[in-house]
Amino acid sequence: MKRIFSHIYPLGIRWQLMLWYSIIFALLMVFSGLLFYTRLQTTLAGSLDTELQLQAQQIAGDITYDEDGDITAHDATADLPGFDPSGKVQHVPPPADVNLDILVRVLDKRGLPLRTTPAFYALNVPPESVTQPLHGLPWQGTISTADGQAVRLYSRALVDDNGIFGVVQVGTTLTQVDTTLQDVSVELLLLAPFMLALGGLISYWLTARAFMPIERLIKTARKIKAGDLRQRVPVPRPHDEVRDLALTLNEMIERLEQAFARQQRFVADASHELRTPVAVIRNKADMALMQIFTPDEHLTVFRSIYNESERLSHLIGDLLALAHLDEGHVRQKKEVVKLDHLVQVVAEMTEPLATEHQVSMQVAANNQVRICGDEARLLEVVMNLTENAILYNNSGGTVSLSVKSEDTQALLIVQDTGIGIAPEHLPHLVERFYRVDSARTYTAGGNSGLGLAIADSIVRAHGGSLTVESRLGQGSTFTVALPLSQ
C-alpha cells in the first residue's frame, strides 16, 4: 500500500482523488455486476423449476392406474410428440435433440420405464431420481446428456387412492438459460470500459469543481506581489470549508500589509531623523571652512559638530539595537539578574543627571528579586525609564525606583512627579520615533523617540510587559512586569 502511495504521490491531490474515485467506482461496478448476474441466474433457474413442476403435475393428472396394473396416459400427454398413449413402446427409437424435443418419462412402481419420449434416451439419469420419488420425495437436479449438455430434471411420484403407482420425470434443457446468462455477461463486460471511462470523467469533473475555490485562491494569491498587499483573496459563501482558509489567508495578508507599512514608515522616519543631525554638521562644517570665525567661535562650531555627531552615533546605536531585537537577537544570554541590585546601580549612575535637573531620587529595593534574562539589556531598560523620569520632570521633583515581587512576577516601577503624558499619547508611546513634543525632546536631551520602543521590545523578549499610567501635570508611572526566575 505504501508503495502505491509513493507511486501516486507525485500526481497531485486532484489526480490522486480521481484515481481513488475510479478504483472505488470500478470495485462497486464489479460487485454490483456479480450480484446482478447471480440474482439473474437464481431467478431463471427458479422459474425453470416451477415450470417443470407444473408440467410434471399436469402430466401426472392425466395418468391413471387400473386394477390390471395398466397405466394409461390421457389426452394431455397424448399430445406429446413421440409419446405413445395407447401402449408400451416396443422398440427404442434413436435419441432426438434434447433442445428441440420434449423430455418426459413415465415409470411404474418398480421403476421400469413405461412411456419415454425419444429425446429422453439421450439423458444420463441417476437412479436416485427414480428411487427417491418412489419413496414419496420429489427429486430435482441438473444432469447431463451423453454429449455434455446440461439438463434440469424433475421427478415426482404418481399417486392415487391406493398410494404410489409410478414416477413421472420431466426435463428441460439449460442451454437457453446458459445462453441468456452468457449474453448478459458479455454485455456487462462490453459496458464496463465505457462505464469506467464515464466514472473517471465524472470524478475528474467533480474534483475539478471541488478544487475551483482553491484555484481561485491560488490565482489571487499569485497576483499579490510584494508591496501590493491591498488585495484580498475571495471569501467563499458560509459553510464552505475553503472559507476558513480564505479568511486565514486574508488575515495573514492584512498582518503582512500592516508590517510592511510599519517597516516603510520606520525607514522614512529613520532617514528623516538621520538627515537632521547630518544637515546640522554639514552646515557648521561649511561655516568653519569659510575661515571667517575667531578661534573662540571655531571652538563653538566644533563643539556643536561634536554634539551632533554624538547624537547621530546615539541614533545609529538605537537603530542597530532595534534591528537586532527585530531579528530576535536578544535573550541570547540567560543569566540570573538581581533586579534590586540593578535598580541601585541605575540610581547611582543617574544621580549626576538628577542633580543637574534638581530632581531627587528615591530607591525602594530592599528585598531580593531575581529574574532570568540578559542583564545588560535590562539595565538599558531601567536606565532609559529613569532618564526619561528625570528629563521629563520639574525641578524640585522626585523620581522613585522600586522593585518587588508579586505572585510569579517581578515588578519594577519607575515613578516621577513630572510633566505627565496626555491620555491620547499613551497608546503610542512605545511606537518607534514617537515623541509627545518633538521640539522639546530634541533640545532637552537630544533623544530620538526610540528609547521606549527599545525598552518595550526588550521586555517583551523577556516574556514581560511594559505599562504606563500618567496624569498630565502630575507625573507618570512606568511598570515593568517580568516573570520571576524559578
**236 in contact with ligand ADP (CB under 6 A):** no
Residue 156's beta-bridge partner residues? 168
Compare residues 84 and 380 and give the one whose CB is closer to ligand ADP: 380
**441 in contact with ligand ADP (CB under 6 A):** yes
Site string for ligand ADP, 456-485 (x = CB under 6 A): --------------------x---------
Separation between Cα atoms, residue 430 and residue 428, nearest integer Å? 6
Compare residues 169 and 457 and give the one whose CB is closer to ligand ADP: 457
Closest CA to 331 of 292, 375, 389, 279: 375
Separation between Cα atoms, residue 35 and residue 33, nearest integer Å? 5
**77 in contact with ligand ADP (CB under 6 A):** no
- 476 burial (CB, 10 Å; 0-12 / 13-18 / 19+) is buried
For the CB of residue 265, give the shortest distance to ligand ADP in the complex, in Å: 16
**155 in contact with ligand ADP (CB under 6 A):** no
List the one residue from 133, 199, 373, 449 that touches ligand ADP (CB under 6 A).
449
Compare residues 55 and 448 and give the one whose CB is closer to ligand ADP: 448
For the CB of residue 303, give the shortest distance to ligand ADP in the complex, in Å: 22
The span of 104-112, 230-238, 282-290, 444-452 binding ligand ADP (CB under 6 A) equals 444-452
For the CB of residue 456, give the shortest distance to ligand ADP in the complex, in Å: 9
**397 in contact with ligand ADP (CB under 6 A):** no
Compare residues 284 and 377 and give the one whose CB is closer to ligand ADP: 377
For the CB of residue 342, give the shortest distance to ligand ADP in the complex, in Å: 19
**436 in contact with ligand ADP (CB under 6 A):** yes
**114 in contact with ligand ADP (CB under 6 A):** no
Q: Do residues 252 and 263 touch, judged by C-beta distance below 8 A?
A: no
Please state the separation of Cα 128 from the chain's center in Å: 67
**56 in contact with ligand ADP (CB under 6 A):** no
Which residues in the 331-390 window bind ligand ADP by CB under 6 A? 384, 388-389
Q: How many Cα atoms occupy the beta-carbon half-sphere of 72 within 13 Å?
A: 8
For the CB of residue 290, give the shortest distance to ligand ADP in the complex, in Å: 34
Site string for ligand ADP, 399-428 (x = CB under 6 A): -----------------x-xx-x-------
Compare residues 55 and 441 and give the one whose CB is closer to ligand ADP: 441
The span of 102-110, 130-138, 349-357, 441-449 binding ligand ADP (CB under 6 A) equals 441-449
3-state SS string over the chain? CHHHHHHHHHHCHHHHHHHHHHHHHHHHHHHHHHHHHHHHHHHHHHHHHHHHHHHHHHHHHCEEECCCCCEEECHHHHCCCCCCCCCCCCCCCCCCCCCCCCEEEEEECCCCEEEECHHHHHECCCCHHHHHHHCCCCEEEEEEECCCCEEEEEEEEEEECCEEEEEEEEEEECHHHHHHHHHHHHHHHHHHHHHHHHHHHHHHHHHHHHHHHHHHHHHHHHHCCCCCCCCCCCCCCCCCHHHHHHHHHHHHHHHHHHHHHHHHHHHHHHHHHHHHHHHHHHHHHHHHHCCCCCHHHHHHHHHHHHHHHHHHHHHHHHHHHHHHHHHCCCCCCCEEEEHHHHHHHHHHHHHHHHHHCCCEEEEECCCCCEEEECHHHHHHHHHHHHHHHHHCCCCCCEEEEEEEEECCEEEEEEEECCCCCCHHHHHHCCCCCCCCCHHHHHHHCCCCCCHHHHHHHHHHHCCCEEEEEEECCCEEEEEEEEEECC
List the one residue from 447, 457, 459, 464 that touches ligand ADP (CB under 6 A).
447
For the CB of residue 255, give the shortest distance to ligand ADP in the complex, in Å: 24
Pairs from 298-306 (Cβ < 8 Å, separation ≥ 24): 304/280, 305/281
- Total site size for ligand ADP, rule CB under 6 A: 22
Compare residues 330 and 452 and give the one whose CB is closer to ligand ADP: 452
For the CB of residue 324, give the shortest distance to ligand ADP in the complex, in Å: 17
**96 in contact with ligand ADP (CB under 6 A):** no
Compare residues 155 and 386 and give the one whose CB is closer to ligand ADP: 386
List the one residue from 207, 386, 448, 457 that touches ligand ADP (CB under 6 A).
448
Compare residues 89 and 426 and give the one whose CB is closer to ligand ADP: 426
List the one residue from 347, 392, 412, 458 that touches ligand ADP (CB under 6 A).
392
The span of 88-96, 156-164, 278-286, 429-437 binding ligand ADP (CB under 6 A) equals 429-437
**156 in contact with ligand ADP (CB under 6 A):** no
Compare residues 355 and 367 and give the one whose CB is closer to ligand ADP: 355
**451 in contact with ligand ADP (CB under 6 A):** yes
For the CB of residue 442, give the shortest distance to ligand ADP in the complex, in Å: 8
Residue carrying C-alpha cell 462505464: 195
Binding residues for ligand ADP, rule: CB under 6 A, are 384, 388-389, 392, 416, 418-419, 421, 429, 434-437, 441, 447-453, 476
